[in-house]
Chain A
Amino acid sequence: MENRPPFDLNAALRRWRDALQNRQALRPEDVAELESHARDAIADLRRKGLTEEEALLVALRRLGPAERLQTEFGKVDPCALWLPRLLWMAFGVAAYLVAMDLTSVAACAVALAGSQVPLGGFTLGWLGLGARVLTVAVVVGAACAFLKFRGERADLWLSRCVQHPVAAIAVFTAAVVSFRLLATGFMPLVVRELTPAAVGQFFVVNAWGAMATFVAAPVVMIAFLLTLLSSRRAELGTGTAALLAVLVLASATGCGPKESANMTASETKQTGQTPLEQTLASWKAGKPDEAADAFLKLDFTRSPLFTKGAVLNYSEPEFVALPAAARDKMAKQVIADLATLKALGRRVADLGKEARSKGDVARADRCAQQLRQCGDALNRPSSLLMVQQVGKAFTKLAAEPAAPGTNP
């Protein structure tokens, strides 16, 4: 006790002031006024014979605990309490939107870089998802670090925001808008670099990834706030670790099962094209007879017509939901593919007529049957409207050779 360092009144008051400054209802000016009051009270008590330390204890005791001061100050001026809360909320929403746009930018940037290698659409989609998760982790980590090392700064910065709420909201909005523009601006760039098929594949995985991030990010943010509340900045180190664990868990449970199911189905298909696609490929390679023969051997009732993720497999709403730039590019691809398919269909119909005129009824019927089945498979409510049209055309083609075949 005797070796105790001399009591430092200013240091003690500074500690008390710092604690008060963290209270939302108390503006820096209020804290300064309370400090001036405390100093007056201390001076009075000192005149009554108390030591500096005793005087400080009594004076602060009379002022009451910080919680009570906060509620008292908040009662008279609810704005003082609600404005910072509102600003924090606005800041939270802005941060969320900016973080989400950042993840989109990251996903697109990775896709853009990967397209130069070049990598497949699915691979790019998965890399993009990885970039999203990484971005969320980096943003949350940066927030942790900021609050850990610059906690007092954050409060000061907030009190400055409270003094200029309009300016603060304007800055938040500007940040959100600029990041949104950046994110949307990236999309057409990616679309331009990728092949149409890769665009389709990329956007399938990307859409899942975006959804998972949108779901997982609020969970992470809430967990972040909870750790912040419980540790009151003291043990943010462990908080960060817990947070990262939650982040990994959330992203694993949020997107894991759906996407892995999606992947196994698509990945196996990705290695080989569907039989119909192979047939179309050989038609494009300039082997029409081979393609027509292959077409006659296809089983349209069992295997899917097109690869999962291929544009032709999209439903109308899915197609409409694509970004405009991607849609334009893919529409061209759809039209080209359908033109090939129609040409192939016509060729098969011609073969049927030829067989019928030669009296080969079995072959003619086979042609008509294949066209009808293919038409049925194409003309599903879940297909793109353009694909449904081709399906109807196929059904018509199938009916054509039958008419002259049965009548004469």
Chain B
Amino acid sequence: MISKELVAASTKPLVLALLAEGESYGYALIQRIKELSAEEIHWTEGMLYPFLHWMEEEGLIESEWKEAESGRRRKYYRLSRAGKTALRTEKQQWCTVHHALIKLWKTAPRLT
């Protein structure tokens, strides 16, 4: 399981990246991240929805109530222009961290 702090830090880039695949709604986002992380990352509804609302207020995403094929209404979210810019920045930063860690851990002396 991923630590709480890391889940909190990674939610923004993950949501931005998930929505970059196309518009989606809360339930589908939770299912998709479970599937992608082999159930390692588990978002709770109580965390995700307020987070989505915060992102919407920040102008990173937009929402719209739409009728799904089943006839039920769902609130769909999609990336805004600012969201796409934010996704690029996030990507850069996470890649920087990722590369540094890879380099460190590959060359670091091992205890065993």
Residues of A within 8 A of B (CB): 29-30, 32-34, 36-37, 39-41, 43-44, 62-64, 68-69, 72-73, 75-77
Q: Are the CB atoms of A36 and B50 closer together than 8 Å?
A: no
- Which A residues are CB-close (under 8 A) to B99? none
Q: Are the CB atoms of A33 and B46 closer together than 8 Å?
A: no
Residue of B nearest to A73 (CB): B50
17 sampled A-B residue pairs with Cβ under 8 A: A29-B75, A32-B73, A33-B49, A34-B49, A36-B27, A36-B73, A36-B75, A37-B27, A64-B44, A69-B45, A72-B46, A73-B49, A73-B53, A76-B50, A76-B53, A77-B50, A77-B57
**CA–CA, A182 and B75, complex, Å:** 48
Secondary structure type dominating chain A contacts: helix
**CA–CA, A371 and B44, complex, Å:** 92
Select A30's contact among B31, B47, B49, B70, beta carbons within 8 Å: B49
CB distance from A26 to the nearest CB of B (A): 10
- Which A residues are CB-close (under 8 A) to B73? 32, 36
Given contacts A33-B26, A41-B27, contact A77 B53 (CB under 8 A): yes
Select A62's contact among B28, B45, B53, beta carbons within 8 Å: B45
**CA–CA, A69 and B47, complex, Å:** 8
Q: Are the CB atoms of B45 and A36 closer together than 8 Å?
A: no
Q: Are the CB atoms of B27 and A40 closer together than 8 Å?
A: yes
- Which B residues are CB-close (under 8 A) to A76? 50-51, 53-54
CB distance from A241 to the nearest CB of B (A): 40
Q: Are the CB atoms of A72 and B47 closer together than 8 Å?
A: yes
**CA–CA, A251 and B57, complex, Å:** 50
Select A72's contact among B27, B50, B72, B75, beta carbons within 8 Å: B50
Given contacts A36-B25, A37-B26, contact A64 B54 (CB under 8 A): no
**CA–CA, A77 and B51, complex, Å:** 9
CB distance from A337 to the nearest CB of B (A): 70
Residues of B within 8 A of A (CB): 25-28, 31, 44-47, 49-51, 53-54, 57, 70, 72-75
Counting chain B CB atoms within 10 Å of each CB, which of A37, A43, A62, A68 scores highest? A37
**CA–CA, A72 and B51, complex, Å:** 9
Q: Are the CB atoms of A68 and B72 closer together than 8 Å?
A: no
Residue of B nearest to A62 (CB): B45
Q: Are the CB atoms of B57 and A37 closer together than 8 Å?
A: no
Residue of A nearest to B51 (CB): A76
Q: Are the CB atoms of B46 and A68 closer together than 8 Å?
A: yes
**CA–CA, A69 and B46, complex, Å:** 5
CB distance from B71 to the nearest CB of A (A): 11
Q: Closest 9 interchain pairs by CB?
A: A72-B46, A76-B50, A40-B27, A76-B54, A73-B50, A37-B27, A33-B75, A69-B46, A36-B74
Given contacts A75-B50, A77-B50, contact A63 B45 (CB under 8 A): yes
- Which A residues are CB-close (under 8 A) to B74? 36, 40
CB distance from B20 to the nearest CB of A (A): 22
**CA–CA, A44 and B31, complex, Å:** 11
- Which A residues are CB-close (under 8 A) to B72? 36, 39
**CA–CA, A41 and B29, complex, Å:** 12
**CA–CA, A6 and B14, complex, Å:** 42
Counting chain B CB atoms within 10 Å of each CB, which of A29, A34, A72 scores highest? A72
- Which B residues are CB-close (under 8 A) to A39? 72
- Which B residues are CB-close (under 8 A) to A43? 70
Residue of B nearest to A25 (CB): B50
- Which B residues are CB-close (under 8 A) to A77? 50, 53-54, 57
Q: Are the CB atoms of B45 and A37 closer together than 8 Å?
A: yes
